[in-house]
Amino acid sequence: MNFLRRLSYWLRHRSIEADLLEEIAFHEAMKQREIETSGVAAMSASHMRSRAMGNVTRAREDARAVWIWPWLESVWQDLTYGARMLRKHPGFTLIATVALAAAIGLNTSLITVVNAVIFRPWDVADSRRMITLESLDCCKRAGGQPHGFSLDEVAYFAEHARTIKGIYAFRHDGEGGTVGLGTGEPKLKSAWVSAEYFRVLGVSMHRGRAFRADDHSGVPNAEVVISYGVWQRQFAGDVSIVGSAIRLDGQLFTVIGVAPQTFTGTFGMPVDLWIPLSAVPLIRPDDRWVKNVLRQPAACCTSAAARLADGVTYGEAQTELGALSRNFRAVSGAPFEGVFVGSFTPLAGPPGSRDDVIHLFALLSAGAGAVLLLACANVGNLLLARMATRRREIAVRLSLGASRSRIIRQLLTEGLALAALGAAGGLLIAIWLPDTILRIAMRSAVMDLRPDAAVLGYTLALTVLTCVIFGLPPALHATQPPRTAGVRMPLRSVFLSVQIALCVVLLVGAGLLLRGVHRVTAENQGFAVQEVTGVSFEFPTRALAMARTKPFVVQLSATLPELAGGGPVGLSSGVPLKSTGKSDVRLNSESEERSRDILIEEVSAGYFHVLRIPRVAGRGFEQDDAGRGVIIVNETLAKLYGDGPSLLGSTVLVGGAPRQVVGVVKDFRASSLERVEPTVYQPFSGQLATNVLVRNESPGAAQAVATLARRIEPSIVVTIVPLSDYLEQRLGPPRILARVSGALGVLALVLATIGVFGVFAFSVQQRTQEIGVRMALGAPAQQVVRLVLGVCARSIAFGLAVGFAIAFAVSRMMRAYLFGLSPLDPATYACVALALVGAGMAAAYLPAVRATRIPPATALRLD
Amino acid sequence: MGAMSPKKAPDLLPGTLDLLILRALVRESMHGYGIAQFLRSVSRDVLEVGESSLYPALQRLLLEGYVRAEWGTSDNNRRARYYTLTASGRKQLAAEREEFERIVVAIRLVLEFA
């Protein structure tokens, strides 16, 4: 109450002081009137008044001081006192600071990453005012993924929308595809963007200029902006690059600008160069899709982003753009279901579309939060032990007249000093950790990961919170009337149980994730991942590919069998763990609405042999199947349409064309690590893409294939990658999650061990006398140890039980990262239990030994 | 609360001024000047309380929540700040009074020791 009144004084101190001033003036006036009426001259009355009543200014100052001074003074006292206590116990201070710093550092790091990824992922001017636009209608069959707009529609927005002050269009995901410089080196990642791109983003060039506004003449603008990285790597930082011409896929483009070093695009992955959408037909001359996207008013699938006009909210922009879109589509004929305005980040999107990433962050946040709670419980327990030794001091102060709230405040201030130390350490960790994680995770730091004001504020709040969580209960407890002093302390058991339970949860989570990832690498994916290498071919230019693909494929497939010397060789349109081509598939008897998007793979007869996929029913492909309209399906697809073999021989429409099912192969996880996707295999034609799969046991086979291909087609670009490399790439993110959670688990275990050790050690210290007496009376060492350890046994057991129960419930949420491992995996639970027992024994050993070595005589003399 | 700074009337026992103010407010609300007048007249001009001790004491009582202050109009139609005893103020008055009696008795015992 007192505190609240003081607080309200701080908030209203102006009006309170005015009140004070006025009432003292009133007092003076009254006094003067009284003296005047008593008949003394006014002059000397004023003089008398001063003498009789004391100095007015001092009255005011003193009255004000009642509110402010004692408070400031006592806070300062508490702080210095707290600092002195911390200095006096360096061991305690060190352990507590490290525990808090680790926990606060972890949480701050996580929020730094979230902050960077969600709120300012790219180095553009004032990214909070940027928005992404998604159309909610298009491509409904693809699972409701929103796709975008036509260029005409974006131009319509630019012309009519008042809630935005700049909009640009870009190819969805930014991946305009790769282009070659014609130097035989890996192709560069290009982004296709409208001319307004750099201007709307507020990115100014490192050198040269950005694109000029599109004149909509339809005449392609053969201009390109290259990234700083490409400028350095490919052109050795040559300053004359601006204005010179380079060949992209054989076409001449003028380099007009070099992007700043910190800017690598606004897409999920960094890009190497930016090409105006109007110039795309130059490098994709025969691509009907490109023509469609550029010209058709009703085309879908170009994404857009815009900058909000001043003072406009997301909601206002969404309403206006939605209305405009409805108008536009009423004319263009494209289906309309609304426009979604999201924040400018790779994670933005309509509800549901980015659940997996949010899920991942939620899991990590929960883990980090648990570690923070654990650290608080740990420090709280240490503080409790300290309080017990300070009982006498506190009792003396209470009996000298200090109020309970005053002492609690002092203890809390001490805690705050400790939390501040921890926060300082935590911030140091947070400056270094997120960057390191992302460097390992993405092999490039594209993001700005310095903690900003928001993160600092978060850390500050976290500090105060931890201070209250670990400081308040011990303080309340220590200042209680000493009716139960020295006896069992339930609070200590609560802290201990909390620590154990959280530790169990974190360890189980980490164990499951690690085992899940391990399982993928070790366990069979259903095919020979470790034994096969993929050789991929790419023509340097689109035009060359159109002209030469057919003869190349024919010659290659004719020569391959003799080359491998009888060993199995497979041709396919995609490489397992890498391919993603899909097409709509339905039964002959089904209506068009019922078609599903199914994975399509073109494979040769040898494909299944190389990968060692057994046949379940029917036959495999034969040499001359190519024109026959036959397909093979996997078991999952067969099950999708009834029970397995019944599909054999029936006709299925693939992309509208009738195909006869001649075989069923065993399931294997070719596209996803988590599950088997239904897949249709067509005879290899080479029209989609060409890859050769060879087995590793014939050394030099991959090289021989590459040599052969170059002999057929000298300009071909060859990439040789073992399938296990693709597996490694796929495993990247889950492995990071597993490692981070593993680190969390180890940290939790260490903290909990320290916590248990502290409690045991304290209990021995507190009962030294009792133990001494027992030993003197002949109690065996065993009994003494049991006495010491028995104190905490119940709370540890309770913590274990609760922890396992929570882990049980929580682990179900991690299913997506377990790759089929059961969330109740017994091995994990057994390992966690073992680790905890081991840690518990380690924590108990020293105190137990110390207890049995207490010389009875010393014990009796104590105190 | 360990507020010790502001000075009290030098000729009063420590804490007595607070007690006297609380007592003054038992019957009715008063402004600061009225309290000073009341104390002087009731004590037959012995207790002369100046602003420099009266107003800090009043602020202290406000802070502790023993009194409440409101602006009102004085007898001669001027704006004045009236102090009213709160429930916890009444309780505090009773406690302090008892303590005071005890001390007075104790002092008398010492002084009258023959």
SS3 letters across A422-483: HHHHHHHHHHHHHHHHHHHHHCCCCCCCCCCHHHHHHHHHHHHHHHHHHHHHHHHHHCCCHH
Pairing between strand B79-85 and A302-308? unpaired
pLDDT for A687 equals 76
Banded pLDDT at A197 (limits 50, 70, 90): very high
Buried b (16+ CB within 10 A) or exposed e, A382-407: bbbbbbbeeeeebeebbeeeeeeebb
Closest Cβ–Cβ partner in B5, B32, B60 for A27: B32
What is the identity of the amino acid at A777? Answer: L
Residues in CB range of A120: below 8 A, 6 or more apart? A127, A128, A448
Is the confidence at residue A141, as pLDDT, over 50? no
Q: Give the pLDDT band of residue B3 (cuts 50, 70, 90).
A: very low
- Residue contacts between A and B (CB atoms, under 8 Å): 97
pLDDT by residue (tens digit) across A86-123? Answer: 888 888 888 888 888 988 888 888 888 777 766 666 77
Residue A23: its chain B contacts at CB < 8 A?
Answer: 31-32, 55, 80-81
pLDDT digits (tens, 9 = 90+) for A432-485: 877 776 666 554 445 556 667 777 888 888 888 888 888 888 888 777 765 554
User: Is a pLDDT exceeding 70 seen at residue A289?
Assistant: no
Q: Are A207 and A217 in contact (CB under 8 A)?
A: no
Look up the pTM and report it: 0.62
| pLDDT value for A791 | 67
pLDDT at A522: 53
Which residues lie closer than 8 Å to A476 by C-beta, 6 or more apart?
Answer: A408
Virtual torsion, Cα B5, B10, B11, B14, nearest 10 deg = 10
**If you average pLDDT over each of A158-172, A626-640, A736-750, which comes out highest?**
A158-172
Q: In which element (H, E) is residue B87 found?
A: helix B87-111
* pLDDT above 60 for A704: yes
pLDDT(A24) > 70: yes
DSSP for residue A203: P
Judge whether A283 and A249 are in contact, CB under 8 Å.
yes
Read off the DSSP letter of residue A624: G
Phi/psi-derived region of residue A88, left when phi > 0, alpha when psi is between -120 and 50, beta in every other case: alpha
Does B31 contact A23 at a Cβ distance shorter than 8 Å?
A: yes
Indicate whether A43 pLDDT > 60. Answer: no
Residue of A7, A8, A22, A23 to mutate for B, most B C-beta atoms under 10 A: A23
Q: Is A679 exposed, middle or buried (0-12, 13-18, 19+ CB in 10 A)?
A: buried
- C-alpha pair distances (Å), A686 with each of A136, A174, A410, A719, B40: 35, 27, 78, 17, 113
Which H or E run contains A131?
strand A130-135
Of A69, A270, A305, nearest to A171 (Cα)?
A305
Does B68 reach chain A within 8 Å, measured CB to CB? no
Residue A481: the pLDDT is 67
User: What are the tens digits of pLDDT across the range A291-323?
Assistant: 777 777 777 678 889 999 998 888 899 999 999
Which H/E stretch holds residue A586? strand A582-587
- Reported as a pLDDT band with limits 50, 70 and 90, residue A144 is very low
* Residues A511-530: tens digit of each pLDDT: 988 888 877 765 567 777 77
Contacts of B60 in chain A (CB under 8 A): 66
Q: What is the mean pLDDT of residues A66-82?
A: 75
Residues of A in contact with B2 (CB under 8 A): 70, 74, 402, 406
Asked if residue B78 lies in contact with residue A29, where contact means CB atoms within 8 angstroms, the answer is yes
ipTM: 0.77
Per-residue pLDDT at A553 exceeds 70:
yes
Q: What rounded mean pLDDT belongs to chain A? A: 79
Nearest CA-CA partner of A505 in A738, A749, A736, A737: A749
Res A857: pLDDT:
72
pLDDT for residue A549 is more than 90: no
A25-34, A141-150, B59-68: segment of lowest average pLDDT: A141-150
Quickly state the pLDDT bin for A277 (edges 50, 70, 90): confident
The pLDDT of residue A348 is above 60: no
- List the one residue out of A676, A682, A579 whose CA is nearest residue A636: A676
Residue carrying the six token digits 């060789």: A569
Whether the Cβ atoms of residue A683 and residue A663 lie closer than 8 Å to each other: no
